[in-house]
Amino acid sequence: MLPIDLQKLVGQFIYQPDQPMIFNSGFFLFLFTGFLFTYYLLSDTTRPKLIFVILFSFYFYYKSSGIYFLVLASCTLMDFQLAKVIQDASRPSLKKFLLLVSLSVNLSLLAYFKYTNFLFDLFNGLAGGPDRSFDIFLPVGISFFTFQSLSYTLDVYRGNLKATDSILDYAFYLSFFPQLVAGPIVRAADFLPQIRKPVLVTDAMMGKGIFLIVTGLFKKAVISNYISLNFVDRVFDAPALYSGLENLVAVYGYALQIYCDFSGYSDMAIGIALLLGFHFNINFNSPYRSLNITEFWRRWHISLSSWLRDYLYISLGGNRKGKWRTYLNLMITMLLGGLWHGASLRFVLWGGLHGAALAVHKIYSDVKNKTVVEPGAIWKFSGWLFTFHFVCLCWIFFRANDSATAFQMIGQIFGSFSWSVLPEFIEGYRWVLLLMLFGYVLHFLPEPFERRAESLVISMPLAGKLVLMVAAIILVIQTKSAGIQPFIYFQF
């Protein structure tokens, strides 16, 4: 029988469904320190380094999804082989058939794990059958790595990318742990050429990496978790118990929560990759500064919106088949984008609202392009105000437990709004409100402020960078909740 402390330590290395490995957990930070030390020791090698990172990445995924790491392994082996055969095939019909195999298998995996119960419930609802569901586990991040794998075979099929001859390279690309479970969705064309380059982490890369990790930790572990547990979740779980004012502020709170949660993960993923010598593209660019909905989707979850554009919207015809077909393609793309986010009609509604808004803005842009009048400051402010509140309205359907709760919340905001509860509300939630204010101020700070802060970290000596990291970890430990708070996008 192992001593109790040793048993607990050994248990940390075994998959525990209620404690997935996430970047802001103490165990990951401890494990990553040892990983980084070993990685740098192997940095002058190629094959040992690749094998070590692949094994760690699969272990990282095992700690998130248990035995379902085999799904990731299967996708890796299948698309590696299919891409090579697609590239070498001489007949276009064979190429297309093999591409369809890749699409069918990947999308079938996604459909089984993610949409079986949704489709079954939808059918039962239409047919009047009994409510029931299957006990199907959703592997963490399956939406991300299937899309990433599909982009590889699609690029090879289109002739935009040469298939790799090394299974190690492809396994490294698909399983690379910083972005494995919640993005960003990395393109093979951007990542594969970096794999066999010598590991080079400049002072600028290390400084930027630490800056992104620290800011990401703060966004997720301090801002997002605190306002979620102490206010936002309570209101969204029972909106009828709260006034219209409290419901409205909870919507603003969720807009900040999901941004800090998801962009915080992306920041940490990009920062960790930089410490390993790899560059990812930016995934968020202050989206709530957007002056219109089109700009919002150029700033929000950039890796997904660009994936939907390049592999779905353009494949449907894009804007090449007339105006009305363009509007229809936008709507289809966003409806499917909504369904990608979750197996529920409320996600479809969320995507449909964004699709309709994009179509309306496209119509407006087509008309505006015929004029030469530059919009003034008041018009730009109005555009920002409308865009922000439209996005917040859509977030209600994204976050609410069901459509009925979403409409109940909207009803409270418009039907039970009163300023009279404001003093009591401020007194009861002053720390939540102060943290929300602080989060929004940081979001809307001019870009030069962020660049200066990043430059300050880069210019620090190594000891200063380490002190900053330790301080961030201590802050996370001091503010952590009782249980692990997984990233919102883990469920996608």
Residue entry with tokens 């929560």: 257
Map out the domains of the chain as residue ranges: 45-195, 203-491
Residue 1 pLDDT greater than 50, yes or no: no
H helix or E strand, kind and range, residue 96:
helix 92-110
The model's pLDDT over 319-361, given as tens digits with 9 standing for 90+, comes to 888 888 888 999 999 999 988 888 788 899 999 999 999 999 9
- Per-residue model confidence (pLDDT) at position 6: 63
* pLDDT at residue 482, as a whole number: 46
As given in the structure block, the two tokens for residue 295 are 């700009």
Per cent of the chain over pLDDT 70 is: 89
SS3 480: coil
Low-confidence winner among 32-41, 116-125, 297-306 (lowest mean pLDDT)? 116-125
What is the predicted pLDDT for the residue at 247?
A: 95
Tens digit of each residue's pLDDT (9 = 90 or more) over 188-228:
999 999 998 888 888 898 999 999 999 998 898 889 989 99
pLDDT averaged over every residue in the chain: 86
How much is the average pLDDT of 294-322?
90
Mean pLDDT across the stretch 30-42? 87
- Environment class of residue 404 by beta-carbon count within 10 Å: exposed (0-12), middle (13-18) or buried (19+)? exposed
Beta-carbon contacts of residue 175 (< 8 Å; ≥ 6 apart) = 54, 57, 58, 61, 72, 76, 145
pLDDT given at position 113:
85
Phi, psi for 448 (deg, rounded to 5): -55, -30
C-alpha closest to that of 69 among 171, 165, 183, 185: 171
Per-residue confidence (pLDDT) for residue 232, from 0 to 100: 94
Q: φ and ψ at 446, to 5 degrees?
A: -55, 145
The predicted-structure confidence for 110-143, as pLDDT tens digits, reads as follows 888 888 877 777 777 666 666 667 777 778 888 8
Q: Say which range, 312-316, 454-458, 488-492, has the weakest mean pLDDT.
A: 488-492
In this predicted structure, which of 81-85, 132-136, 467-471 has the lowest mean pLDDT?
132-136
Mean pLDDT of all residues in 353-373: 81
Query: pLDDT tens across 415-447, in order?
Result: 888 888 889 989 989 999 999 999 999 999 988
pLDDT score at 33 = 84
Which range, 95-109, 122-136, 468-482, is most confident? 95-109
Catalytic residues: 341
- The set of residues, in sequence order, having a beta carbon less than 8 Å from that of 489 and lying 6+ positions away, is 182, 183, 261, 262, 265
Residue 32 has pLDDT above 90, yes or no: no
